[in-house]
Amino acid sequence: MSNTAAPLKRAPIVASLILAAFVALLAQTLLNVALPTIERDLNISHNTVQWLITGYMLVNGILIPISAYLIERFTTRRLFIIAVSLFTIGTILGAIAHNFELLLIGRIVQAAGAGILMPLMSIVFLTIFPVEERGKAMGMMGLAMIFAPAVGPTLSGWIVEHHSWRVLFYILLPLALFSLIYGAYAMKNVTRNAKTNLDYLAVVLSTLGFGGLLYGFSDAGTDGWDNSRVYGSLIVGVVSLILFVWRQLAVAKPILEMRVFKYDMYSLTTVINVIITMAMFSGMVLLPIYLQNIRGFTPVESGLLLLPGAILMGIMSPITGIIFDKVGARWLSVVGLLITVFTTFEFSKLTDDTSYSFLLLMYSLRMFGMSMLMMPIQTAGMNQLPRTLNAHGSAMSQTLRNVAGALGTAFLVTIMTNRAADETKRMIIANGVNPEDKTAMAPIIQEATIYGINHSFIVATWMSIAALVLAFFIRKVKPHEEAAPQVQQAKSHG
C-alpha cells in the first residue's frame, strides 16, 4: 500500500463506508415508532413485536466479536460487499414480509450485515488515517453513528401516520443498493489478511453469553425480574461469559482479545463509553414514552422534538473531531459530561405540563454535550493500541457499547416501571381510590408514570456523574510499537 497514493483514494473509501453505516444505523431505530402499528397489522402481542428490536440487537451483539476474525480472514472489499449484500437481502425480506416470522428473519439478516459493517468501518478508518488525523476521521464516522439513529424516529413517525410500515423498508432499499454498487467500485483492500481458524467453542460461548444477557434484560422490562425465564437466561449469560473470558485468555488466537485491557487508557475510555451509552439511551427511550403516553403528542411531534438535537450532534461531530486532534479528549469530555449531567438532571423534574420548548431546548443541549463524548473518548483509547490490536480493540468496544445500550435501556425502563407501580399503589392507598374506577385511576397512573420516568433520569444523572469523575483521568497517549503485542503475549499468563 503506497503512502503517496493513499490521500487520493481515501475520500471514496470514507464515503462508501459512511453511506453504508448511515443506512445500517437508520434501520436500527426506524422501526421503534412503528412497533404499535406492526403489532396491530400482524395481530401479534407487544412482547412478540419487541423482538424486531431485541433480535436485531442480539444478532449485532453476537456478530461483532467475530468481526475481528472476519477482518483478518477476508479482504476489506470482499467483506464490505458481503456485509452490505446481507443487509440489502434482509431489507427486501422485511419489505415483502406478510407475516411476523418472515419480518423477523429479514431483521436478523439485516443485523448480520450491520454487525460486520460497523467494526469494519472503525478498522478501515484507523488504518487509512495517521494518529494525528484520527480525531477528524472519527468525527466523520460519528456523523453517521449519531445522525442516523436520531433521524429514524422522526422519519418513521411521519411515514407510519401516512403510509404502511412496509414503506420504511422500501426507503432503505434504494439507499442500500446504491451503497452496495458505489462501495463495490470505491472500496479498496486496506487491512492485512492472515490465515486464521475460527474458535467455534468461543463463538458458541459468546453467543450464549451476550445473547443470554441481552434476552434476560430485554425480557425483564416485560415479564419482571422475578420471572424464571428472565433469571434463567441471565444465569446462562453470566456463566457462558465467564467461560468465554477464560477461553479467550487460554487460547493463542482469541476471537475477542481480552489483552487489550492491559492498556490502561483503552480500559478507562471503554468503561466511560459504556456508562455514557447507558445514560444516552435513557433519553432516547424514556422521552418518547413521556411524550406519547403521558402528554399525548403524535409520533411525528415526539420525533420532531428529538430532531434538532440530532442535527446539532451531526454538525458538531466533525468539529469535535478537529478539536480533539488539537487539545485531546480530556477537556472535551469533561465539558461534554458537565452539560450531560446538568441536562439529565433537568429531565428528572418533568411534570404533566412541562413545556414543549423546554423539552426541546434541554434535549438539544443534552445532544450537544453528547457530541463531545463518544468518538473522542473512543479514539483516545484506541490511539494507545498497537496497529495489530486495532481490530480487536474496535470489536471489543463496539461489542460492549452494543451490550451497554441494550442493558441500559432495559435497566432504566425496568426502574421506571417498578417505581411507577410502587407509586401507583401508594397513591391508591393515600387517596382511598377504588382501583376498578378507571376515571379516578387515570390521573394516578399518569402521575405515577411521570414519577417513574423522573426516578429513572435521576439514576441516569448519577451514571453521568460517575463518567465525569473518570473523564478527569483521561490523558493523551502515543500508540505502542508494533512489537508490543508479542511482548505482551509472552507475559499474558503472569
pLDDT, tens digit, 9 for 90 and up, residues 47-99: 677 678 777 777 877 787 777 778 778 888 888 899 999 999 999 999 998 88
Mention every residue, 6+ apart, whose C-beta is less than 8 A from residue 439. none
**Cell for 298?**
403524535
CB 223 within 8 A of CB 181: no
For residue 90, the model assigns a pLDDT of: 94
Which residue type is seen at 279?
A: A
Helices (H), 251-298: 264-289
Alpha-carbon gap, residue 394 to 79, rounded angstroms: 16
Mention every residue, 6+ apart, whose C-beta is less than 8 A from residue 472. 330, 334
For residue 47, the model assigns a pLDDT of: 60
Q: Concatenated DSSP letters for 328-376? A: -SHHHHHHHHHHHHHHHHHGGG--TT--HHHHHHHHHHHHHHHTTTHHH
For residue 250, the model assigns a pLDDT of: 85
Q: Which tens digit of pLDDT belongs to each residue from 270-301? A: 999 888 888 877 676 677 778 777 787 777 77
For residue 483, the model assigns a pLDDT of: 43
Low-confidence spans in the chain with pLDDT less than 50? 1-8, 482-494
Instruction: State the Rg of the chain over Cα.
Output: 22
Q: What phi-psi label fits residue 477: left (phi over 0), alpha (psi between -120 and 50 degrees) or beta?
A: beta
Alpha-carbon gap, residue 31 to 291, rounded angstroms: 17
For residue 91, the model assigns a pLDDT of: 93
For residue 186, the model assigns a pLDDT of: 75
Q: Give the number of other Cβ atoms within 10 Å of residue 392's Cβ.
A: 26
Residue 160's closest CA among 354, 47, 301, 278? 301
**Cell for 404?**
451497554
For residue 317, the model assigns a pLDDT of: 74
For residue 282, the model assigns a pLDDT of: 65
For residue 88, the model assigns a pLDDT of: 94
**Cell for 274?**
459504556
pTM recorded for the entire structure: 0.73
For residue 461, the model assigns a pLDDT of: 93
